[in-house]
Amino acid sequence: MRVDQLAVVTRASTKWHVYSLLLASLLFSGCRTAPVSAKQAYFQKHPELKAHYVQFYETSIEAIERCSDEKHMGKRTLVDSLRKDFAKYPDLVERLDAIKARQDDSWDGERQYLKQIKREFRPATDALFFYDYHKGDKEEQGWLILRRGEIHKKYWLGSSFDEPGEKP
């Protein structure tokens, strides 16, 4: 074998060696993609809706419960304080008692609503979001459970759509 033939063979074998190393590194490292969040998956499937969500953030049942409890405890403390400070005014005390009863009913209703969400929500596969959706002069707020990039269940706080959940 001549020197010039040996050089060609050496270059060819080096080239194949480099290619085989590259192929092996690709096989061992695998093809990795960054994990997609539930929010990203939803908006990848429904890009036309993204502009309508004024707010869309992930939350937890515990955070919702804590917020609800703080809100109601603050109101309850205020009413109790007013009752105590103005005890000599029976008409006012009666009215404050009625406010406290309505507030307690409202708080019980929120707790029942949260129990419904807890029953449906699966932390291993689901993501819970608060949303505020606007389309034209219509709007809707509430919580929704996303499962595999789709809305699994909605829990409305309020809606001006003809049918709650009409579009979002």
pLDDT in tens, 127-149: 999 999 999 999 999 999 999 99
pLDDT tier for residue 8 given thresholds of 50, 70 and 90: very low
The helix (run of H) or strand (run of E) holding residue 100 is helix 90-120
| pLDDT tens, position by position, 41-55 | 999 999 999 999 999
Domain count, the chain: 2
Same domain (yes/no): 56, 112: yes
Instruction: Indicate the pLDDT class of residue 162, thresholds 50, 70 and 90.
Output: confident
pLDDT of residue 6: 45
Mean pLDDT of the chain: 85
- Residues 53 and 91 placed together within one structural domain of the fold: yes
Give me the pLDDT at residue 9, please.
Answer: 46
Tell me: do 80 and 38 sit in the same domain.
yes
Within a domain: 46: yes
Q: In the beta sheet, which residues pair with residue 96?
A: none
3 and 68 share one domain: no
Q: How many residues does the chain have?
A: 168
- Tell me, yes or no, whether 47 and 62 share the same domain: yes
138: amino acid identity, one letter: K
Tell how far CA 26 is from the center of its chain: 35
For 59, list phi and psi in degrees, rounded to 5.
-140, -170
Query: Which residue segment(s) compose the domain that 11 sits in?
Result: 1-32
Instruction: Say whether both 121 and 79 belong to one domain.
Output: yes
